[in-house]
Amino acid sequence: MNTSENPAELFGLRLAHVGINTNTPEEAASTADALCALLGIERGEEPFPVSSFAGSLVEVMNNGGRGEKGHIGLHVDDIDAAQAWYEARGVEFNESSRTLCPDGSGRTYLIYFKEEIAGFAIHLTIAD
């Protein structure tokens, strides 16, 4: 695979986090706390009120979430360029999932691919 075909080299693509679906905010918080204890990490920053983080490794969704089994977040350095690269290869995105940065900049923070893989929704994000 040459550089122009390797999104890890082109956009810094790497695993950002794994998402776990739970049914309530309380279940999400206790799941995040249990994972923190198991992994020896602290609770992570929670930029949106829909989840709890165990460090930056695991996002525990409060009231279910995308994906039959959960989701996988993939970090990229340039989300717009990465999206264009994937679309040029026939990969579709769920435009209704586009979330803007909480800083008010108008930049895209995350966007989900249209198709799930093995029950997991997958999204690109600029967050680690």
Report whether 5 contacts 58 (CB < 8 A). Answer: no
pLDDT digits (tens, 9 = 90+) for 69-121: 999 999 999 999 999 999 999 999 999 999 999 889 999 999 999 999 999 99
Question: Is residue 128's pLDDT more than 80?
Answer: no
Residue ranges of domains in the chain, CATH in brackets: 3-125 (3.10.180.10)
Q: Rg (Cα) of the chain, in Å, rounded? A: 15
Q: What is the dihedral of CA 85, 88, 94, 97, to 10 degrees?
A: 30
Which pLDDT tens digit goes with each residue over 45-67?
A: 766 688 999 999 999 999 999 99
* pLDDT above 60: residue 3: no
Q: What is the pTM of this model?
A: 0.88
Q: Is 44 helix (H, G, I), strand (E, B) or coil?
A: coil
Is the pLDDT reported for residue 5 higher than 90? no
Which among 93, 65, 127, 31 is positioned nearest to 43, based on CA atoms?
31
The order of strands in the sheet holding 120-125 is: 51-54, 58-61, 14-21, 70-75, 120-125, 108-113, 93-100
* Amino acid in position 122: I
Task: Count CA atoms within 13 Å of residue 11 on its CB side.
Answer: 22
* Residue 33 reports pLDDT greater than 90: yes
Query: If you average pLDDT over residues 23-48, what whole number do you get?
Result: 90
Lowest mean pLDDT among 11-25, 26-40, 46-60, 97-111: 46-60
Closest of 3, 2, 23, 22 to residue 11, by C-alpha: 3
pLDDT tens string 72-84: 999 999 999 999 9
